Amino acid sequence: MSLRNIIIGLPLLFLLGGFLGGCTSLSKDQIDAAMIDRLASVEILTVGGRDGQIYSRNLRQTMFSNYATESEYRLASKISISSSEAFAVRGVSSDFKKMTMTVSFTLTDINSNDVLLRNAVSANATLGTVSSTYGIEQSELQAKKRLAKLLAERVRRRLQLYFLSTAQPIDKT
């Protein structure tokens, strides 16, 4: 790519970005306020087990659940965990363990009982070699805790995307 193409292309790219950025009818502040209200209006059902409690607690913290509002939506989640023991890399076996945690969730409108969103997110963790039984248990507990926190954040982001896609433009008359 020549210097001339860069000099001409870069300002055009910024100009195009400016035009596309102005195409929305919602301002950033309006989106933020509306998003907080929408996220806060989701009733989060607690998932059972230690992993579910960590997931539910982190999800409530990121969804502004302490923000006083009436619930309009209900979020039901289910956590599943799978592990694969030792795996081989280039024919050499190892004691690494791969753990996969998946959260399946359903967002329901409380008033109409309609399912608005049904989705699943997953994350992986690789556990290293630990010689003691206690160390293995602690490693698994820490991995589950990290994965539960990560998946709570991913579920919140999926809900944000859903609410943004269903946002109503503001009439500027």
Note whether residue 7 is domain-resident: no
Note whether residue 124 is domain-resident: yes
44 with 73: CB under 8 angstroms? no
pLDDT-based confidence at residue 84 (cuts at 50, 70, 90): confident
pLDDT score at 173: 47
| Per-residue pLDDT tens over the stretch 22-64 | 544 444 455 577 788 888 889 999 899 999 999 999 999 888 7
Distances 132 to 128, 137, 142 between C-alpha atoms, Å: 12, 9, 15
Better-scored residue on pLDDT, 9 or 31: 9
Q: Which domain holds residue 87?
A: 26-165
Note whether residue 6 is domain-resident: no
Note whether residue 94 is domain-resident: yes
Note whether residue 101 is domain-resident: yes
Lowest mean pLDDT among 19-23, 68-72, 156-160, 164-168: 19-23
- 88-89 and 92-93 beta bridge pairing: antiparallel
**Closest residue by Cα to residue 151 from 80, 102, 116, 98:** 102
Number of domains in the chain: 1
Residue 122: strand pairing partners = 102
Note whether residue 128 is domain-resident: yes
pLDDT-based confidence at residue 172 (cuts at 50, 70, 90): very low
| Per-residue pLDDT tens over the stretch 116-143 | 999 999 999 988 777 778 887 888 899 9
Note whether residue 161 is domain-resident: yes
Identify the CATH number of the domain in which residue 37 sits: 3.30.160.150
Note whether residue 18 is domain-resident: no
What letter would DSSP give residue 75? E
